[in-house]
Amino acid sequence: MENRRRRSSGAWQAVRTLRKYRVFYLLMLPGILYYIVFKYVPMYGIIIAFQDFSVGRGIFGSKFVGIKHFIEFFHYTPDSWKLIRNTVMLNVYDLLFHFPAPIALALLFHEIRNKAFKRFVQSVSYMPHFLSTVVIAGIIVMFLSPTTGIVNFILVKLFGMEPVMFLGMPEWFRTIYIGSEIWQKVGWGTILYLAAIAGVDPTLYEAAKMDGANRFQQMRHVTFVGMIPVMIILFVLNLGQFMEVGFQKILLLYNPMNYETSDVINTFVYRRGILDADFSFATAVGLFQSVIGFVLVVIANRLARKYSETSLW
Amino acid sequence: MKIKESWGSRLFDACNAVLMVMLAAAMLYPMVFVLSASISDNAKVVSGQVLLWPKSLSLAAYERLVFNPDLWISYWNTIRYTTVHTALTLMATAAMAYPLAKNGCRDEGTCC
């Protein structure tokens, strides 16, 4: 009995749990190792954001310069404010249009009566998800070409207008970007929401019908409400990506003619940081983006926890 | 007792069906167009005559592609990356998910 009392302290309990469930911890080891080695250990590299890093001298040989790179980024005005504006605007449009699209589509899918038709439309809508960004950008460039593109062909032949050079006009870029994002991702995005809809208790529908709800009221008060937890989680996750707007597609679709709206923080950093090999600058800007994304996620999660039962943590 | 559907509900169904057909067309059209354009004669594509169906079938584009050795090297690399990546990811995440799923339960054997 003396033994058991001595070994009830916290540290001993932890060791005992580890030994008792050692199989489970062993199972988790590869995943945990992956996170430690690839996500946490490289964090020491953030130091190069505060140095004048040169590959030859390494981290310990490079000079420490404090926040010089951050100041340089913000004093690149007026361009840096244009970059931030473009990044934020693309994200706002993304949240405004791209985020609700799978929700609406899932609701509409749920209302299709004919099973075969429903399955056909769903399968077709999943297809664009599997095309890679490069292929989509290629399709966009081909469709929007002022001489050989299908869009301009219709405009000229059917409506008698002049061919429009869509990819050369800054005002069209956001539409093209968000439109292609929606086209590619709306089908696949409905999967999660359809799973949430399927998880709604059927007795809720019956109760609503008893209370006299018609089809649209049922949709609004039962189906939609059942999707809210998934919406909150995905929204919070989306906010974490706020500053990292889809770099690949922008890189493929932008050109000096539409830099006005298409140049975002990441593309600028790509030109300065990778092409000019200015690693410290690129890291500094990347750090700035990550911090903002992190703050947004924490705030959003706080709000989600306060006003609903669902939150990320 | 057959419940009569309101006309609003039937109108919604009709609009939904039309919308779904348009959606399916919008999703399918670019891919069908790219397929048609790839088997058509190049001049017809450039002049904008290929809208949906291929015109003047010619496999010249595919010939150039197949006889280019770079393509096969890239393909082989893609297959290697994908297979190894999928296998390792599946094993690691499944192994990690099982203990995490048991996290909320008291005893080893049972799980809620």
Residue B51, classed as helix, strand or coil, is: coil
User: Nearest CA to CA, how far is B69 from chain A (Å)?
Assistant: 20
Instruction: Give the best residue of B9, B16, B18, B23 to mutate against chain A (max A CB count within 10 A).
Output: B23
Closest CB to B92 among A31, A111, A127: A31
What does the pLDDT read at residue B106?
Answer: 61
Q: Is A177 exposed, middle or buried (0-12, 13-18, 19+ CB in 10 A)?
A: buried
Task: Extract the residue ranges of chain A whose pLDDT is less than 70.
Answer: 1-8, 76-78
Position B111 pLDDT exceeds 70: no
Distance CA A95, CA A93 (A): 5
Instruction: Give the best residue of B1, B7, B27, B107 to mutate against chain A (max A CB count within 10 A).
Output: B27
Asked if A267 and A111 count as a contact pair (C-beta separation under 8 A), the reply is no
Position B90 pLDDT exceeds 80: yes
Cβ <8 Å between A28 and B48: no
Residue in chain A nearest B26 by alpha carbon: A183
User: Nearest CA to CA, how far is A177 from chain B (Å)?
Assistant: 16
Residue in chain A nearest B4 by alpha carbon: A214
Cβ <8 Å between B13 and A34: no
The CATH architecture to which A83-264+285-307 belongs is Orthogonal Bundle (1.10)
Chain A environment of B19 (Cβ under 8 Å) = 108
Closest CB to A27 among B6, B24, B99: B99
Asked if A232 and A305 count as a contact pair (C-beta separation under 8 A), the reply is no
Predicted confidence (pLDDT) per residue in B53-72, tens digit: 888 888 888 888 889 999 99
Instruction: Give the best residue of A19, A28, A36 to mutate against chain B (max B CB count within 10 A).
Output: A28
Cβ <8 Å between B12 and A153: no
Cβ <8 Å between A34 and B92: yes
Asked if A215 and B9 count as a contact pair (C-beta separation under 8 A), the reply is yes
Cβ <8 Å between B96 and A25: no
Chain B environment of A116 (Cβ under 8 Å) = none
Chain A environment of B100 (Cβ under 8 Å) = 28
Residue A287, classed as helix, strand or coil, is: helix
User: Nearest CA to CA, how far is A161 from chain B (Å)?
Assistant: 16
Question: What are B79's two structure tokens?
Answer: 């297959």
B contact residues 41-70, partner A, Cβ 8 Å cutoff: 45-48, 51
Region of A212 please: left (phi>0), alpha (psi -120 to 50) or beta: left
**Residue A216 parent element (H or E):** helix A215-218
Does B100 reach chain A within 8 Å, measured CB to CB?
A: yes
Predicted confidence (pLDDT) per residue in A5-33, tens digit: 566 677 888 888 778 888 888 888 888 99
Give residue limits of the domains in chain A.
1-30, 83-264+285-307
Cβ <8 Å between B96 and A30: yes
Mean pLDDT of chain B: 84
Chain A environment of B48 (Cβ under 8 Å) = 148-150, 153
What does the pLDDT read at residue A102?
Answer: 94
| B41 φ/ψ angles, rounded to the nearest 5 degrees | -70, 135
Chain B environment of A31 (Cβ under 8 Å) = 92-93, 95-96
Report the candidate in B30, B58, B31 with the shortest Cα–Cα distance to residue B44: B58
Query: What percentage of chain B exceeds 90 in pLDDT?
Result: 33
Q: Is the dihedral of CA A134, A140, A145, A146 positive or negative?
A: negative
Asked if A184 and A124 count as a contact pair (C-beta separation under 8 A), the reply is no
Residue B23, classed as helix, strand or coil, is: helix
Question: What are B50's two structure tokens?
Answer: 């290929």
Closest CB to A113 among B13, B96, B108: B13
Position B2 pLDDT exceeds 90: no
What does the pLDDT read at residue A119?
Answer: 93
Position B21 pLDDT exceeds 70: yes
Residue in chain B nearest A24 by alpha carbon: B99
Number of helices and strands (H, E) in chain A?
Answer: 18, 2
| A312 φ/ψ angles, rounded to the nearest 5 degrees | -70, -35
Partners of A51 in beta bridges: A64
How many contacts (CB atoms, under 8 Å) link A and B? 83
Q: Give the up-direction half-sphere exposure of residue B85: CA atoms within 13 A in the CB hemisphere.
A: 6
Cα A159 to Cα A38, A141, A153: the distances in Å are 55, 21, 10
Distance CA A273, CA A268 (A): 8
Predicted confidence (pLDDT) per residue in A124-146, tens digit: 999 999 988 898 998 899 888 88
| A62 φ/ψ angles, rounded to the nearest 5 degrees | -85, 150
